[in-house]
Amino acid sequence: MNLDDNHPLPAKRVRTGILDDFRSERVQKGEEDVFRTGARPVEENDPKGAGAAFHRLGVSRTKGGRGPESISMSCSDKITKWNFCGWQGAMMSHLLHAPLIPQKMIFGPCKDDQKSLNRAFSRLSHVKTSVVEKPIFSKSPQAISISTDTSSKIVSASSCLAWNMFMKKAEQLTGKLGYKHGAGKKNLHLQKTHSVLAPKYLFSLFHQIKPDFESYASCKSTSNNYIKLRDK
């Protein structure tokens, strides 16, 4: 494609960190402060004081947003739980002798803080178990180049793709509800509309290995080792 002076390429900038948009003016000036978050504390509200007194630190939070309060925990709280209980989940705990715990977490080139990472993802490291709950934090040196062209509004896609090496082709799913594209409401009970990532489908594969359980719910509720870690 040929470009002339009247139609130059949109300018690009290197984004130095995914948290840049959430940094207060005090942080940008190098003064003492904490990163802001829209996630809401489960118990007491944030004091919203000046500088570092804006947030309560090291507490569990639900997902942020402008709508009604969510009962879903924040991303960092979920990762903290998985780092402690294992990323395999309750069902797969019946097949594994020990939880799947990451030894390392790799982040993009964001201006992070080691104390913040420890506070977010290693807050349960004082609870002793037989696995590693405090992963090593590393950072990717690759910068992210993004366009600053604002001539057209960018809208997030409402669908997603699911694929693994055993599939002939990828699944296209609705991002909100998780069923296959083209499935009408009257057909949602049919197995052909279910994704390979759906708990019902995953349980059908699990049931071929361990036919002891009648349902997905009974499988999860009897995962004693996982529940013991979760409830600590």
Structural domain includes residue 160: no
Range of the domain at 214: 13-146+198-230
Structural domain includes residue 180: no
Q: 61-97 burial, b if ≥16 CB within 10 A, otherwise e?
A: bbbeeeeeeeeebbebbebbbbbbbbebbbbbbbeee
What pLDDT score was predicted for residue 183? Answer: 82
Structural domain includes residue 172: no
78/175: higher pLDDT: 78
Closest to 85 (Cα-Cα) out of 72, 102, 68, 60: 102
Q: Among 55-69, 83-97, 158-172, name the one with the lowest average pLDDT.
A: 55-69
| % residues pLDDT > 90 (the chain) | 10
DSSP 17: -
Is pLDDT above 60 for 6? no
What pLDDT score was predicted for residue 7? Answer: 47
27/194: higher pLDDT: 194
pLDDT in tens, 9-31: 444 444 444 344 445 566 566 67
The count of structural domains within the chain is 1
Mean pLDDT confidence for 171-182? 81
Count CB atoms within 10 A of the CB of residue 194.
Answer: 20
Structural domain includes residue 91: yes
Structural domain includes residue 156: no
Q: With contact defined as beta carbons under 8 Å apart, do 207 and 213 qualify?
A: yes
What pLDDT score was predicted for residue 223? Answer: 92
pTM of this prediction exceeds 0.85: no
Q: With contact defined as beta carbons under 8 Å apart, do 59 and 77 qualify?
A: no
